Amino acid sequence: MVNADTRRNGDKLLLKSIVLLYINKIFISVKRLVIALGGNALLRKGEKGTLENQFKNAEVTAKEIVDLALKNYKIVVTHGNGPQVGNIYLQQELVADKVPPMALDACGAMSQGLIGYILTVAILNELIKRGAADYTVVTIVTHVIVDDKDPAFKNPSKPIGLYYTEEEAMRILKEKKWALKPDPRGGWRRVVPSPRPLKILEAPIIRDLVERDKTIVIACGGGGIPLIFKDGKLKGVEAVIDKDLTSAKIAVDIKADILLILTDVEKVALNYGKPNQQWIDSMTVSEARRYISEGHFAPGSMLPKVVASIEFVEASGERAIITKLGKALKALLGETGTHIVRG
């Protein structure tokens, strides 16, 4: 009897230690991750962008996100909205005589809902497939304050919507308060400012949600809906905030361990596309700054990703990684991607 009891107690103790060890392991290995998805997460070059098309592409993206969620990462997914908001905006222009057109900030809000919907269903389906249907996926319509004195408002640079002839462009310039510029591809296009994100209004709730067990948060879509604060009031503005810069900001706000930017190149390069091109495995913040000043990263594509990485690492002391969609896990294990670190 005594022996059996002692053994039972011993077994209980052993079980307790194993449970404690396991809890400890989970606790130590939990990392907060901001995953910034690029355009190709939902639409590939040359694709039309039907809903079916975007759902199909989202399956691949969802697999990658679920792989990480099941490895115990706490995840906030951010994403671009270029093609989607572009199409929504075009629809407004094309039937403006029949349905009142929505301004760009409203189109941005619509695109957050649309992309949130596609990603949520794709991620939930992958979770169900992997036997993890007890997760919650939630999209936050995210508002971001920008400065109405941001120099970007004086120099609108982001082309959107239809291509116009010079004659049409001149007429529009007289009728509307738009800025139009000749496009390198021919014709004229409306251009809007790309101001810096100053404050993400929903950051506190995004932080609470990501702390919750088994919860994946989708936020800051398209860089967030830009608002200015003027005469004591918040007001939407027609602008496009860079999604990588907003991703860096939310990563700092939620005290993320890693900012993971997933795009369509596995690594960042020096002399990109030239015969002396060289892939970068790792760079310190000061090296990254030097490469920027030497002009290695194209504005509007790789430059904002490197700048976002620098801003996150400087503010948090942690690591940013730029790699290709499909390589996230390998990159987190240090086997690929370009890692931006302190120093």
Please, which residue, 92 or 323, has the CB nearer to ligand ADP?
A: 323
**Least distance in angstroms from the C-beta of 136 to Mg ion:** 29
From candidates 32, 33, 35, 39, binder to ligand ADP by CB under 6 A: 39
Binding range to Mg ion, per CB under 5 A, among 31-39, 103-111, 119-127, 184-192 = 31-39
Half-sphere exposure of 285 (CA within 13 A, CB side): 17
| Tokens representing residue 192 in the block | 């809007």
Residue 269 interacting with ligand ADP (CB under 6 A): yes
Binding range to Mg ion, per CB under 5 A, among 34-42, 111-119, 232-240, 322-330 = 34-42
Active-site residue, 174 included: no
Q: Cα dihedral sign for 142, 145, 148, 151?
A: negative
From candidates 298, 315, 334, 335, binder to ligand ADP by CB under 6 A: 298
Residues of span 44-83 touching ligand ADP by CB under 6 A: 80
Q: Give which of 272, 282, 327, 279 is closest to 303, Cα–Cα.
A: 272
From candidates 33, 37, 39, 194, binder to Mg ion by CB under 5 A: 39
Whether 29 and 258 have beta carbons less than 8 Å apart is answered as no
Residue 263 interacting with ligand ADP (CB under 6 A): yes
Residue 299 interacting with ligand ADP (CB under 6 A): no
Residue 159 interacting with ligand ADP (CB under 6 A): no
Whether 131 and 69 have beta carbons less than 8 Å apart is answered as no
Please, which residue, 176 or 274, has the CB nearer to ligand ADP?
A: 274
From candidates 153, 188, 297, 312, binder to ligand ADP by CB under 6 A: 297
Q: Give which of 195, 197, 158 is closest to 178, Cα–Cα.
A: 158
**Least distance in angstroms from the C-beta of 213 to ligand ADP:** 30
Catalytic residue among 38, 40, 57, 80: 40
d(CA 74, CA 260): 13
**Least distance in angstroms from the C-beta of 305 to Mg ion:** 10
At a CB cut-off of 8 Å and minimum separation 6, what does 176 contact? Answer: none
Report the C-alpha dihedral over residues 297, 300, 306, 311, rounded to 10 degrees.
Answer: 140
Binding range to Mg ion, per CB under 5 A, among 6-14, 33-41, 50-58, 60-68 = 33-41
d(CA 153, CA 156): 6
DSSP string, 99-161: SPPPPHHHHHHHHHHHHHHHHHHHHHHHHHHTT-TT-EEEE---EEE--TT-GGGGS--EEEE
Catalytic residue among 57, 80, 81, 158: 158
Residues that bind Mg ion (rule: CB under 5 A) add up to a total of 1
User: Footprint of ligand ADP on this chain (CB under 6 A)?
Assistant: 38-40, 80, 263-265, 268-269, 272, 296-298, 301-302
